Amino acid sequence: MTTDLDRIDRRILAILQVDGRIAAVDLAERIGLSPTTTGERLRRLQKEGYVTGFAARVDPQRVGLGLLVFVEVLLDKTTPDVFDRFAAAIRRAPEVLECHMVAGGFDYLVKTRVADMAAYRRFLGDVLLSLPGVRETRTYAVMEEVKNDGPLPL
């Protein structure tokens, strides 16, 4: 159930992660099948949930979001719904690209993109620190993006 994918399916997924808009004709040629069969496989991969959608890669620098920042967040564990309220607020915040609850030294790891330090300062004060239950935050500004959106290994 977790993996009834054959070699061809995996190659299709690998290629589509790099070039999500490749024509079925070209994809077919690269995997050695006919365009028809390739289309059938792709449609099946979508229907069965392996491919959940397609997205354009937008250059953050070009649209004025030059600063990438990670924030570690610690919450007060007083009331049980603090986590839910925090998660709900994070989902509403457009500056937040990712947020994960982790096991270890802190509670949430937040990935955010903003224009510059001034914008981050505003985000920190207006959004993060104004949320109820936030006890402590640690900010790590990214100086160099070594690897950014690597494909899933298949």
Partner DNA sequence: GGGGCTGCCGTAGAAAATCCGGCCAAACAC
Partner DNA sequence: GTGTTTGGCCGGATTTTCTACGGCAGCCCC
Tell me how far, at minimum, the Cβ of 78 lies from its own copies, in Å: 20
Our finding on whether 109 is near its own copies (CB under 8 A) is: yes
Tell me how far, at minimum, the Cβ of 29 lies from its own copies, in Å: 18
CA angle 14, 16, 17 (to 5 degrees): 65
Tell me how far, at minimum, the Cβ of 65 lies from DNA, in Å: 23
Restricted to residues 1-60, the positions that interact with DNA (CB under 7 A) are: 8, 23-26, 33-37, 39-41, 43
Stretch that binds its own copies, among 24-32, 33-41, 129-137, 143-151 (CB under 8 A): 143-151
Tell me how far, at minimum, the Cβ of 82 lies from its own copies, in Å: 13
Our finding on whether 140 is near its own copies (CB under 8 A) is: yes
Instruction: Tell me the β-bridge partners of 71.
Output: 110, 139
Our finding on whether 61 is near its own copies (CB under 8 A) is: yes
CA–CA dist 121, 67 (Å, integer): 12
Q: Which residues contact 72 (CB under 8 A, 6 or more apart)?
A: 105, 106, 108, 109, 110, 137, 138, 140
Alpha-carbon separation of residue 33 from 40, 46, 73, 76, 153 (angstroms): 11, 18, 49, 56, 22
- Spell 23-57 as b/e; 16+ CB within 10 A means b: ebeebbeebebeeeebeebbeebeeeebbeeeeee
In the complex, the residues that contact its own copies under the rule CB under 8 A are 2-3, 5, 10, 13, 16-21, 48-65, 68, 70, 87, 90-91, 94-106, 108-109, 113, 138-154
Residues at the contact surface with DNA, assessed by CB under 7 A:
8, 23-26, 33-37, 39-41, 43
